[in-house]
Amino acid sequence: MSKVTVSIVGASGYTGGELLRLLLLHPDVEVKQVTSERFAGKPVSRTHPNLRKRTALKFSKLEELTECDTLFLCLPHGKSSTQLDRFTSLSDKIVDLSADFRLNDPAQYKEWYGGDHPAPEKMTEFVYGIPELHREEMKEAKWISSAGCNATTTILGLYPLFKAGVVDRERTVVEVKVGSSEGGNSFNEASHHPERSSCVRSFMPTRHRHTAEMIQELSFGEPAEIHFSATSIDMVRGVLATSHVFLNDSLEEKDIWKIYRSAYGDEPFIRIVKEAQGIYRMPEPKLLWGTNYCDVGFQKDPCSNRLVVVSAIDNLMKGAAGQAVQAFNLMYGFDETAALEFPGLHPV
């Protein structure tokens, strides 16, 4: 069978680089073009030094982009939606890694992103990109919108509980601890090493835009309230979400186990991590660097009806490029784990 040809638009950033790393080793893929206005003509190792000696690809300008089977879009917020026609004319299938098409509802978009959506009629044509929630739709999909990294971590931690309807939908409090790669490769005062090193910075205590995705995906008929905060810590890759939910009924930990097993028992990229002893009892993002896993664990508070759910991912992988490749595999009927086999490092 001939390989699927793909191109990456906006490939000089961290997400683009990660995607390129994965796709270069995908057995059924040929990477055709990778674009970058700033680095056009330069070898990709100029910004992705890990790819030295791995490919002879050079960056192209966006205007040089030609037809291919699938386009991966890694553009800044607001750039995919305004150029969608151009991209759909070049490629049948699209995986957009920006925030442009994550929400289905133009009103919600306006509320959280502060302006009218440039292509509101297209919003519902994109499948929201978390495979564990939308696998069947993806198999038929043309266009997929990858989920936000913090949204992915939180949603995968909470989805089984909200779907089962066992939690108080108004009381959930979530705090994510995030690494610096979430901010991309643009340097600024906040990312300056002397300032960012050892930091514990409550950079978004309220109003994080990813909250809108959580509400969208966790509301099954009745709206879910997610009280969300985000804190930067001294880490490059990784997200850990600590979610505090309050159970409606007096469930025990074994009941919670059943709910998670039933939801995730067959998932190739979700592991329930909850051990009785040792230092790896709960999910930890550093074990997931470079992998497509989402690890989920939980602990019931013996003093109250609170359940603490802990979920972790690598934001550039399961939170971006890995998730996109997993969705791409589903679209084409490839092995869902193709190009995503790396098990992660320990120690690291």
Dist CA 334 CA 69 (whole Å)? 15
- Site residues for its own copies, window 236-295 (CB under 8 A)? 236-238, 240, 242, 244, 271, 273, 278-280, 282-287, 289-291, 295
Using CB under 8 A, which residues numbered 131 to 170 contact its own copies?
none
Q: Strands 239-246 and 306-313, how do they pair?
A: antiparallel
Q: What does 2-33 look like in DSSP terms, one character per residue?
A: PPEEEEEESTTSHHHHHHHHHHHT-TTEEEEE
Let me know: does 251 contact 304? Beta carbons within 8 Å: no
Token output for 298 = 């939980």
- Using DSSP bridges, classify how beta strands 200-204 and 239-246 pair: parallel, antiparallel or unpaired: unpaired
Nearer to its own copies, 32 or 196 (CB): 196
Does residue 342 belong to the site contacting its own copies (CB under 8 A)?
Answer: yes
Give 177's strand partners: 231, 240
Judged by beta carbon, residue 80 or residue 292, the one nearer its own copies is 292
What single-letter DSSP state applies at residue 75? P
Concerning whether 199 is annotated as a catalytic residue, the answer is no
Residues 31 to 90 in contact with its own copies, rule: CB under 8 A: 45-46, 48-54
Choices 60-68, 80-88, 187-195, 252-260; region in contact with its own copies by CB under 8 A: 187-195
- Residue 30 or 175: which CB sits closer to its own copies? 175
> Residue 99: which residues within 8 A CB-CB, separation 6 or more?
77, 113, 148, 209
Q: Toward its own copies, which CB reaches closer, 86 or 346?
A: 346
Closest separation between CB of residue 309 and its own copies, Å?
9
Point out which span in 11-19, 100-108, 144-152, 322-330 binds its own copies (CB under 8 A): 11-19
User: Minimum Å distance from CB 137 to its own copies?
Assistant: 25
Q: Is 17 in the site for its own copies (CB under 8 A)?
A: yes
Whether 153 contacts 178, CB under 8 Å: no
# residues near its own copies by CB under 8 A: 91
Cis ω on the peptide bond leading into residue 131 (within 30° of 0)?
no
Residue (77 or 346) nearer to its own copies, CB: 346
Out of 120, 171, 224, 332, point to the residue binding its own copies (CB under 8 A): 171
Question: Which listed residue (173, 224, 259, 332) binds its own copies by CB under 8 A?
Answer: 173
> Least distance (Å) from its own copies to the CB of residue 86?
29
Q: Which residues contact 46 (CB under 8 A, 6 or more apart)?
A: 39, 59
**CB of residue 54 to its own copies, shortest distance in Å:** 5
Taking the complex as a whole, how short is the minimal distance between the CB of residue 204 and its own copies, in angstroms?
9
HEC readout, 89-124:
HHEEEEEECCCCCCCCCHHHHHHHHCCCCCCHHHHH
Closer CB to its own copies, residue 278 or residue 333? 278
Q: Which stretch binds its own copies (CB under 8 A): 82-90, 135-143, 304-312, 325-333?
A: 304-312
201 binding its own copies? (CB under 8 A): yes
CB of 270 to its own copies, least distance (A): 9
> At which residue do the structure tokens 């003093």 appear?
303
Closest to 18 measured CA to CA, from 342, 347, 348, 346: 342
Catalytic residue numbers, as ranges? 149
